[in-house]
Amino acid sequence: MTGQRDSRHDVLFEPVRIGPLTTRNRFWQVPHCTGMGYRHPRSEARHRGIKAEGGWGVVSTQETEIHPTSDITPANEARLWSDADIPALRLVTDAIHEHGSLAAIQLVHNGLHSANRYSRAIPLAPSHAVLDCDDPVQARGMDTADIRAFREWHRAAARRAREAGFDIIYAYAGHDMSLLQHFLLARHNHRTDEYGGSLVNRIRLFREVIEDTREAIGDTCALAVRMAVDELMGPDGLQHDAEARDIIEALADLPDVWDVNLSGWSNDSQTARFSDEGFQEKYTAFVKSVTSKPVVGVGRYTTPDAMVRAIRSGHLDFIGAARPSIADPFLPSKIERGEVDDIRECIGCNICVSGDNTCVPMRCTQNPTIGEEWRRGWHPEIIPSLETPESCLIIGGGPAGLEAARAARQRAMDVTLAEASSIWGGRVTREAGLPGLATWARVRDWRLWRLQNMPNTELYLKSPLTAEDVLDYGIAHVCIATGAKWRRDGVGRVHRRPLDFPDPDRVLTPDDILLHGPSAIKTSGPVVIFDDDRFYMGGLIAEQLARAGHDVAIVTPAATVSPWSEHTLEHDRIQRRLIELGVGIVPLHQIDRMDDGTLSLACIYTGRTRTVPCATLVSVTSRLPDDGLWSDLVTRREDWADAGLKSVNRIGDCLAPGLIAVAVQSGHAWARHVDLPEEPLPLREDIAALS
């Protein structure tokens, strides 16, 4: 899989001067949250160090709170409240410098985004305002003494960041989560003094903090400014062809580098369902025309040709990335070595984002080692070979089975992979056919490509196996990855017992739609989707059927459609799309009964019923493991040893249905630990801190 770098990609490996520093290439891992932060400093350091090892010329940590009045607990970002925070961040810079990359830090005061639940400080904002979270708390408008104090907090944090070893210090005005941006925005800044009113006045604090930061970091560090250039709100927010342009023109040459993007976070980190590679270019392309300083930009770039185009067109000097660097920390190295086909491309699902939004170490659908670098010692490119390689039989070619086979072969095991159907990929292949999810097929394609290029690997389609077959083959390690099926009986979070559907032919599941598309609907009349899964599936099926011309309504016991998609930053876009497609939305209801042509619903709070027309019901509730083969083998456990079987395990949805990311990690963990009697416990930093 090694090759020679394509000369067209040479531009990506040119060094670039930023202030007093020179980067080793044009790859810039922009600040992004990991869910590890100040509570898991060793995990954070190891994660960033692997990015540097993978070739990212600049590696940034996540946003770093500068003061107790910027406390966003329970979110777990970085902190520089005092000198006591320096050692944890020194772990990060040491890990990055070990591989020759520059370390960057994004200093932040979150202003009216800070509820200060831990510090209990009164939140601060340009003007008196309610917070932008659900806490029944208001921020007080800052007086001039507060502004002077804030400037000193920022200076002190910049000095501490330099002491911690960071090479690049950010001043941050983005994502509608920064006090500096709040001062820039007329909707937040209602002041009438020299810091409010006109744009010149609203820029004043931003200018002062940039100048303060320059003074604090001296002439050995570079100064970066990260700013949103559009909020996709029209005149109600920053626009790239209006005030945002004016701001950058006014401050054009003050920093050493501009890092530009969209605001808020759900705009900046749009999923592939709602955006394409390079989607930010039309908003950020103007920046280089108004500054002489280098520019970093993002857009979920995964292909080197798109990166080169962005550089050659004069749009960017650096390819910024968060999610692509998570899916493949070695993306730059693979391009440099001419191994472009080996890039594990981001699928744009935002499962990584959900980690930060649920305040836990993030995970990735494509890269099962993310978040496990320190606590399990997992490396994204290296798995130690078995001392005595053995053979394995993996049954099921979905995401869990494909990853298990790939990782097992990396450990020098002889691999036989058997799939009962005529296609590889399992649920990934089926779900990639839903609107906007085509990139999800990358989970299948990357693993299948690797397996097809590995020796001692046998791949079989149309190969259903019985327990007798497995015993007859006598392969040492058996891994069952046969997936799961959606339930047809309505059992889920609300209905814990099967529902009585008098006409089951009118009841479909997502499996029916995934296999046959809209043609699965055999009856004319309204379609009702009962969504108790609460993530993406119900809304996507509603969208697909509505686009096919069906009269669709979606009923959910939740307050909104797809509520868990808040964690993947898709929630608002999902609601908007369904409404625009004319999908009826009935929240806060469960199924009471199904009659001929109607569905009776009950309010989850009062029990009061209402009736909606329903010719076909699509039940999106929960899934059952397809574990018949496992059960058959368990009944013959006494025959395992005689047949030469050393281990038999279930992985992925066959063990317990969940996210695709969980299935992939399940397959990876099985291969990592196949030679051990049981899976080892991960290291814990809370215990390490007390030891």
Q: Do residue 217 and residue 140 come from a single domain? A: yes
Residue 119 in any domain: the answer is yes
Of 346, 377, 404, the position where a domain reaches its end is 346
In the chain, the number of structural domains is: 3
Domain coverage including residue 158? 7-346
From the candidates 268, 531, 532, 627, give the one annotated as an active-site residue. 268
The pTM assigned to this predicted structure is: 0.95
pLDDT in tens, 303-354: 999 999 999 999 999 999 999 999 999 999 999 999 999 999 999 999 999 9
What mean pLDDT value characterizes the chain?
96
> In this structure, what CATH number is given to the domain that contains residue 435?
3.40.50.720
Any idea what the CATH number is for the domain that residue 546 is in? 3.50.50.60
Do 285 and 228 lie in a common domain?
yes
- Structure-token pair, residue 635: 């009944």
Write the DSSP assignment of 218-275 as a string of letters.
TTTSEEEEEEEEE-SSGGGS--TTTHHHHHHHHTTTSSSEEEEEESSHHHHT--TTT-
- Cβ(554)–Cβ(591) under 8 Å? no
Q: DSSP alpha helices (H): ranges in 251-396?
A: 265-268, 281-284, 304-312, 323-327, 331-336, 351-357
Q: Is 369 within the bounds of a domain?
A: no
- Does residue 575 sit in the same domain as residue 431? no
Domain identity same for 308 and 426: no
Which residue type is seen at 555? V
Residue 375 placed within a domain: no
313 with 427, same domain?
no
The residue from 113, 154, 175, 668 that is catalytic is: 175
Query: Where is the domain boundary, 624, 641, 672?
Result: 624
Given a contact cutoff of 8 angstroms between Cβ atoms, the answer to whether 533 and 621 are in contact is: yes
Burial of 262 (0-12, 13-18, 19+ CB in 10 A): buried
For 33-90, write each residue's pLDDT tens digit.
Answer: 999 999 999 999 999 999 999 999 999 999 999 999 999 999 999 999 999 999 999 9
47 catalytic residue (yes or no): no
Residues 413 and 515 in one domain: no
Residue 378 lies in a domain: no
Residue appearing with tokens 């009061």: 608
Angle at 262 between CA 260 and CA 265, to 5 degrees: 120
Here the contacts of 144-153 (C-beta below 8 Å, separation 24 or greater) are: 144/193, 147/195, 147/205, 150/67, 150/109, 150/124, 150/179, 151/205, 151/208, 151/209, 151/212, 153/66, 153/67, 153/109
Taking 80 as the threshold, does the pLDDT of residue 130 lie above it? yes
What are 213-240's pLDDT values in tens digits? 999 999 999 999 999 999 999 999 999 9
- Active-site annotation holds for 301: no
Output the pLDDT for position 1.
47
Q: How far apart are CA 209 and CA 670, in angstroms?
A: 51
Query: Domain check: are 512 and 475 in the same one?
Result: no
Mean pLDDT value of segment 652-665: 98
Residue 691 has a pLDDT of 59
Average pLDDT over residues 283-294: 97
CA distance 252 to 225: 10
Same domain, 638 and 600: no
Digit-coded pLDDT (tens) for 254-274:
999 999 999 999 999 999 999
Nearest residue to 342 (alpha-carbon basis) of 351, 350, 334, 353: 334
User: Are 520 and 433 contained in the same domain?
Assistant: no
Give SS3 for 433.
coil
Question: Which of left, alpha, beta for 65 (phi over 0: left; psi -120 to 50: alpha)?
Answer: beta
What is the mean predicted confidence (pLDDT) over 635-661? 97
Residue 358 lies in a domain: no
Quick one: pLDDT band at residue 504, thresholds 50, 70, 90?
A: confident
Percent of the chain with pLDDT strictly greater than 70: 99
Task: Give the active site residue among 32, 33, 240, 627.
Answer: 33
> Of the listed 38, 170, 172, 283, which one is catalytic?
172
Read off the pLDDT of residues 371-413 as tens digits, 9 standing for 90 and up.
999 999 999 999 999 999 899 999 999 999 999 999 999 999 9
Q: Closest Cα partner for 54 from 442, 451, 373, 403?
A: 373
- Same domain, yes or no, for 610 and 635? no
Q: Is 176 helix (H, G, I), strand (E, B) or coil?
A: coil
Mean pLDDT of 467-480: 97
Concerning whether 603 is annotated as a catalytic residue, the answer is: no
Q: Residue 364 domain-assigned?
A: no
Active site includes 33?
yes
Average confidence (pLDDT) over 438-455: 97
What confidence score (pLDDT) does residue 660 get? 98
Torsion of CA 176, 179, 181, 182, to 10 degrees: 80
Q: Is the pLDDT score of 146 beyond 50?
A: yes
- For 429-510, strand residue ranges (E) read 457-460, 477-480, 484-486, 507-508
pLDDT over 90 at 608, yes or no: yes
**604 domain-assigned:** yes
| Same domain membership, residue 252 and residue 184 | yes
pLDDT at 510 over 50: yes
Whether 367 maps to a domain, the answer reads no
**Res 367: pLDDT:** 98
Which residues are within 8 A (CB) of 688 and not within 5 positions of it... i.e. 6 or more apart? 42
- Final residue belonging to a domain, choices 569, 597, 624: 624
Residues 439 and 531 in one domain: no
- Number of helices (H), then strands (E), in the chain: 23, 29
pLDDT for residue 583: 98
